[in-house]
Structure formats: C-alpha cells, structure tokens
Structure 1
Amino acid sequence: MEGLVLFNALVTRLLFLLHSLVGVWRVAVVMKESRYWLLALLNLLLVLETALTLKLKRGRGYKWFSPAIFLYLISIVPPLWLLEMHRKTQDCSIQSERMSQNTSRKDDFKQSLMFNEETKGVEDIIETAKVFVNNLSTVCEKYWTLGLHQTFLLMLIIGRWLLPIGGTITRDQLSELLLMFVGTAADILEFTSETLDLENVRNNTPLVCAILVIWTWSMLQFPLDLAVQQVVCPSSVTARGFPSLFFCQYSSDLWNIGISIFIQDGPFLTVRLILMTHFSVINQMLVFFAVKNLLVVLLHLYRLAVLASAFRASRRRQSEGLKAEHGCPCGPPQSGPGTGEGTVRVGLAMPLQTSPASSDASEPTP
C-alpha cells in the first residue's frame, strides 16, 4: 500500500511536469525564440516539492491544501497567458497554406512509420518523432491553445484524483470535491472560450489581460480542499458569539458560497456585464451565461440567509432549553399565618431532639 501511494504521488507530478513542458515548448515555437524555454525553470519548484513530499510525507497529501496543484498552476499559467496574448493576430486561414506545403512531410511520416516497423532502430524512432512534431506544428494556433486549456483542466481533475489523500479528507469527501471540480472546470472553459474568441475583445489588449486575470483568479480554488471538510468546533468557540460559532458550524457551506461569489460566478458575472454594457458585446450565449451566473449568486445568497436563520433559531431553542433546566419548579415561599412562626419552630425543634446534648439531658440522674 505504501508503494502504491508513492507511485501515485510520483506519476501525478510527472504528468504535471510533462504537460507544463509541452506548454513551454509551444510558446517557444510560436514566439520563435529559444529564450522562452526559461519558463521551464518554474518546474524546479514542483521538483523540489516532489522530493520533500516523498521524503517527509511519504507521498501523502497535506491538510486543506495541495502544494503540487498550486505549483503546477504556477508552471502552466504563464505559457497559457503568452499563447492567449499572441493569439490576437493568429488566424487559422493563414496556416492553411503551411499545411498544404507540409503534405509531403506527412507522406514522409507515413513512410517512416512503415520503415520503423521493419527496422525498429533508434535513429529511425528519433526521425519519426521529429516528423511527428513537425506535423503537430502545422496545427492551427487557435486549436493548439484551446487544446492546452482543455487538457489543463483535465489534468487538474485527474491529478487531484490520483494524488494520495491526506489524513483530514475522506474518500467520500474526495469524490464530492472531484464532482465539484468537473462542474467548475466546464464553467471556466466556457468562460475563456466564449469571451476571448470575440473579435471586439481580441482587439482590446487591456480587456484580454483583465479576462486572463479573472481566469487566473478562478484557478486558485483548485488547490483548496476547504469546501468539503467539516471543522470540529472547539468548546472555546461557543463563548465568542454568533459569527465565530456560525462560521465554525457551517464552514464547508460558507466556503462553497464564498468561492462561488468571490472567485467564480461573481467575477464571471462582472466581466460579462461589462462586456454587454460598456463594450456593447451582446449575443445569445453571453446573455444566457450572464443570467446563469446571476442566478447562481442569488441562490447562494439565499442559502446563506437560510443557514443564518436556521442557526439563530437553533441557538434560541438551546437558550430556552437551558433556562428551563436551571429554573426552579416550585414557587417562592409565601408569608402568612400558616407558614410563619409555627413552621420555624418545628424546623428548630427537630435538630434538638436528635442532638447529643438533648439526649444526655433526658437521662435520669443517678
């Protein structure tokens, strides 16, 4: 079992590293400058984290946070930024001529594959790989960038699934988290593909940067596991008042609401409203997803109000129950002729009959 944990931890990080290197390679090819290979140095952080996790944690995950996914974001987001910023001048029709010119390369690729089946030499394999890479370079840049976005989100989901879970998250919580990631990834992919493909957006570089900032901000929810983990409330929290106890009792629900409003649906709604009002970009899909984001935000606010109301009601019932337990069932003593001096005298006479002094005095004197 320990070996399987180490294997999953190592393989997942190697997949992250490989995908990041593909993104860096694509940037170097598009920009036609070898200096962009320096972006690969960002993967050194992931390599260092891998070594520390395998040595100190034996491949196990951390509490509430995944450093591997966070460092993977650091290594893959800059190449995607550069590709999106460069794509404003790209057109698939421009590359159609290049694809027609490379028809002979494809024929050479097929011939090399047939020859490789016969010889299976190392040099032939290397030559086949070079031809394959050259043919990949003829793919339209728009489709390359979209493919990197899609595989990036898939790697986040599959990688989180393969990564060994820590001691604070159960398999049931992990499955719930993965289902949330699937829906989140679909929304993020739709947001980038819908907004960045608009011609009015592509011609406005600051607007493209703003959309990419919102996209990067939405990615920060993937390293977090707070949305599915319940916090055990200590006894000291009860004395701090309503906010602390409310946040402690409904921590996972509040994290879900906060992530939706402040990291995903809220910023996405803001961008879409700005596009429709300020830049006059209106189409059917943009309006539909803006309404969808608005409904999600309103439903989360409604859920927050329901949770607060239910919490106040439960606190009120608890306080009333405590008052009923500590209250005296009998009424206060009433003063009157039947309960005055006679009662006091009887109460005073009882201990006199059982006291040692009274018993000695009652014995006859010899």
Structure 2
Amino acid sequence: MELLVLFNALVTRLLFVFHSLLGVWRVTEVKKDPRYWLLALLHLLLCLETALTLKLKQGRGYKWFSPAIFLYLISIVPSLWLLELHPENQFCLNESQQPGQNISEKEEHSYKSDATDSHLLEKALYLVNTLSTVCEKVWTLSLHQTFLLLLIIGRWLLPIGGEITRDQLSQLLLMFVGTAADILEFASETLEIEDVRKNHTLVYAILAVWTWSMLQFPLDLAVQHVGSSPSVSSKRVLSLLLYRHSADLWNIGISLFIQDGPFLIVRLILMGYFKVITQMLVFFTAKNILSVMLQLYRLIVLSLDFHASLRYQSNSRKGGVGCCPCDPNHISLPPNNCDAGGRECATIPLEDSLPVTAEC
C-alpha cells in the first residue's frame, strides 16, 4: 500500500513537470528566444516539494492545502500568460496548414525512395514537424484544456492526506469538473472577442482574474469542516458559525470572491463600459448573476437557521423544554436536530448549569 502511495505521488508530480515543460517549450518556439527556457527553473520548487513530501509525509498530502498543485500553477501559468499575450495567438490563417501538406508530400517521397531507413525515426520527425505547423491559437487552447484536465486528474491521483475522506474527495472532484468548465469558458470566450484583443488592459485584467480563479484548486476547504469545538457559553458567534457551517461558508466564499463574483464583474464591465455584447457573453453574464444570487440566498438561509438555533439554545438554558429526554447536566439542541419521533437529539454539556428537566 505504501509503495502505491509513493508511486502515485511521484507519477502525478512527473505529469505536472512534463506538462509545464511542454508549455515552456511552446513559449521558446513562439518567442524564438532560448532565454525563455529559464522558466523551467520554476520546476525546482516542485522538485523540492516532492523530495520533502516523500521524506516527511511518505507521499501523502497535507491538511486543507495541496502544495504540489499550487507549485504546478506557479510553473505553468507564466507560460500560458506569455502565449496569450503573443500577437500570433490572435488568429489562425488557412495558410498555416500548407507547410504540413508540403511536409507530408516530402515524407511520402522519402518513404518511397528509401523504405529501409529508420522508419520510426522518420515518423517521429514527421510528427514533430506537423505539430510545429499548428497555429498558436490551437496550441494555446490545447494547453489550457489539458492544464485543467490535469489539475482534476492530478488531484484524483494524489494520495489523500490530512482529514479529507474519500467521500469528500469525490465531492471535491465533482466541484472541480464544473469549475474547470466555467474557467475554460471564461478565458476562451472573452479573449476570442476581437475588440477585447485590441485592448491590452482588458487582456491583462482577464488573465489576472483567470489566474485568481485558479487559486481555488489547491484548497480543500469547501468540503471540510474546520475549527475547534467551541463551548456552548462561548460568545464568539462567528467562531461558532464557522464551526457548524464551515464547508458551506467556504463554498459560498470561493464562489463569490474567487470565481462567479470576479467573472460577473469582468463581464459587466465588458458589456457596460466597453460595449462588447455577444449572445454567449449575455448568457454567461446571466448565469453568473444567478449563481451569485443563489449563493447569497444560501448564506441568508444559513444565517437565519443559525440565529434560530442560538435563540432556541438560549431559551433552553433558561428552563425551556427540549426536544427529547436529556441528561440533567445537558441541554438539548434545536428541534431540527431531533428525529421524526422527537426521541433522539444531540446534547452539549453545560459548563456551569443546574439540573434541567426536559419533557417530550
């Protein structure tokens, strides 16, 4: 079992490094400057993290946060920025397919003239030359797509660590699938607009929001309960709220401040200030508005339920009736914690309490 954990931890990080190096290679090919290979030095951080994780954690992950995914973001995001900002990435010409056709004709001629030469080597060279003729727009979009897919697959393959369970991991992966689709659509749909491409400030703003939205992938907070159990008499209401609804609150916060909220602001600016209006832009703006409204509604529901719970708890401590028979040294939780028959409930110990009787 330990060997499988070490294998998964090592293979996942090797996939991250390989994909990041592919991005650096594309930047070097596009810029025609070998100095961009210095971007590969960013992989040293991931290599260091790999060595420390294998030695100290035996390949297992950390609580609430994944350093491997965060360092993968650091190593690949600069390459994607450079590719998006490159002028040739704005369009694909039909003429770009002609070199591939010429190469194909040359290769067929060479195969016919000398079929006994290194056949596999020629096929490899042909494949590399064919990939080199693909226009930059297709290359950049492919890197975006494989980047998001690898984030999900990598998070799946990475050994579970900390307090996250397999059930929580499955919830997290399902969330990541929907999140990745929204992020890919945001980047591709907005940057493909010609008026946006002509405005460098808009391009920088969109890429900045896109980068900000990627920071949710190393986090596991949206499916885990955090915080220590506070006492019933604690006056720190915020701490108690976070203890009871931490996963829901983190999920709402991520949506409002990392994804749907920033996406909505950018799209409203595009439509309102820059007068960029397309059918898909209007649709996804409406989608973001609906998502933000639903998250705010969810936050209000949690708040009302929490305050009702506090009021019921306060009344119980003053001699109110509980939902079920409880120990004299305990008080009962609100009615929504009882079963259908009102016979079972969770109890919280009182620090300084007199015997309290409860009748159903």
Q: Same fold (TM over 0.5)?
A: yes
The amino acid across from 2:319 in the alignment is A
- Distance in 1 (alpha carbons) for counterparts of 2:121 and 2:291: 52
In the TM superposition, 1:294-313 aligns within 5 A as: 294-313=289-308
- Distance in 1 (alpha carbons) for counterparts of 2:308 and 2:272: 42
- Distance in 2 (alpha carbons) for counterparts of 1:162 and 1:328: 52
Contact 1:12 1:162 in 2 (8 A): yes
Deviation at 1:110, TM superposition (A): 6.1
Query: Match for residue 21 of structure 1?
Result: 21
Deviation at 1:132, TM superposition (A): 1.6
1:246 pairs with one of 241, 255, 267:
241
- Partner SS for 1:227: helix
* 1:175-224 deviation line (CA, Å, top 9, x unaligned): 00000000000000010111000001000011100000000000000000
Query: Match for residue 69 of structure 2?
Result: 69
Where in structure 2 are there 5+ consecutive unaligned residues?
321-353
- Distance in 2 (alpha carbons) for counterparts of 1:238 and 1:129: 71
- Distance in 2 (alpha carbons) for counterparts of 1:161 and 1:68: 13
Q: Using CA pairs under 8 Å that are at least 6 residues apart, name the structure with larger relative contact order, 1 or 2.
A: 1
Q: From the superposition, tell whether residues 207 and 323 of structure 1 become closer, same or farther in structure 2 (CA, over 3 Å).
A: same
Q: From the superposition, tell whether residues 192 and 114 of structure 1 become closer, same or farther in structure 2 (CA, over 3 Å).
A: farther
Query: Match for residue 35 of structure 1?
Result: 35
Query: Match for residue 50 of structure 2?
Result: 50
- Distance in 1 (alpha carbons) for counterparts of 2:114 and 2:219: 47
Q: From the superposition, tell whether residues 117 and 62 of structure 1 become closer, same or farther in structure 2 (CA, over 3 Å).
A: farther
- Distance in 1 (alpha carbons) for counterparts of 2:14 and 2:108: 30
- Partner SS for 2:160: coil
Contact 1:63 1:166 in 2 (8 A): yes
The amino acid across from 2:145 in the alignment is Q
- Distance in 1 (alpha carbons) for counterparts of 2:111 and 2:222: 49
Q: From the superposition, tell whether residues 255 and 130 of structure 1 become closer, same or farther in structure 2 (CA, over 3 Å).
A: same
Q: From the superposition, tell whether residues 327 and 12 of structure 1 become closer, same or farther in structure 2 (CA, over 3 Å).
A: closer
Larger Cα-atom Rg: 1
Deviation at 1:105, TM superposition (A): 1.8
The amino acid across from 2:154 in the alignment is G
Q: From the superposition, tell whether residues 54 and 89 of structure 1 become closer, same or farther in structure 2 (CA, over 3 Å).
A: closer
Deviation at 1:140, TM superposition (A): 1.5
Contact 2:77 2:211 in 1 (8 A): yes
Query: Match for residue 163 of structure 1?
Result: 158
Q: From the superposition, tell whether residues 168 and 89 of structure 1 become closer, same or farther in structure 2 (CA, over 3 Å).
A: closer
1:233 pairs with one of 213, 228, 235:
228
The yes-or-no answer on 1:151 pairing with 2:146 is yes
- Partner SS for 1:303: helix
Deviation at 1:168, TM superposition (A): 0.6
- Distance in 2 (alpha carbons) for counterparts of 1:321 and 1:28: 69
Contact 2:90 2:192 in 1 (8 A): no
* 1:144-166 deviation line (CA, Å, top 9, x unaligned): 11100000000000000000010
Q: From the superposition, tell whether residues 117 and 221 of structure 1 become closer, same or farther in structure 2 (CA, over 3 Å).
A: farther
The yes-or-no answer on 1:91 pairing with 2:86 is no
Contact 1:53 1:60 in 2 (8 A): yes
Deviation at 1:113, TM superposition (A): 8.5
- Distance in 1 (alpha carbons) for counterparts of 2:46 and 2:211: 19
- Going by fraction, where is helix more abundant, 1 or 2? 1
Query: Match for residue 284 of structure 2?
Result: 289
The yes-or-no answer on 1:185 pairing with 2:180 is yes
Q: From the superposition, tell whether residues 37 and 161 of structure 1 become closer, same or farther in structure 2 (CA, over 3 Å).
A: same
- Distance in 1 (alpha carbons) for counterparts of 2:131 and 2:114: 19
Contact 1:88 1:203 in 2 (8 A): no
TM-score by length of 2: 0.84
- Distance in 2 (alpha carbons) for counterparts of 1:218 and 1:328: 51
Deviation at 1:72, TM superposition (A): 0.2
Deviation at 1:101, TM superposition (A): 3.1
The amino acid across from 1:101 in the alignment is P
Deviation at 1:167, TM superposition (A): 3.1
Query: Match for residue 341 of structure 2?
Result: none
RMSD (CA atoms): 2.3
Query: Match for residue 354 of structure 1?
Result: none
1:267 pairs with one of 253, 258, 262:
262
Query: Match for residue 10 of structure 1?
Result: 10
TM-score by length of 1: 0.83
Query: Match for residue 197 of structure 1?
Result: 192
Deviation at 1:127, TM superposition (A): 4.7
Contact 1:113 1:128 in 2 (8 A): no
- Distance in 1 (alpha carbons) for counterparts of 2:159 and 2:218: 14
| Worse-matched range after superposition: 48-57 or 210-219 | 48-57
- Distance in 2 (alpha carbons) for counterparts of 1:16 and 1:4: 18
2:317 pairs with one of 305, 311, 322:
322
Where in structure 1 are there 5+ consecutive unaligned residues?
330-366
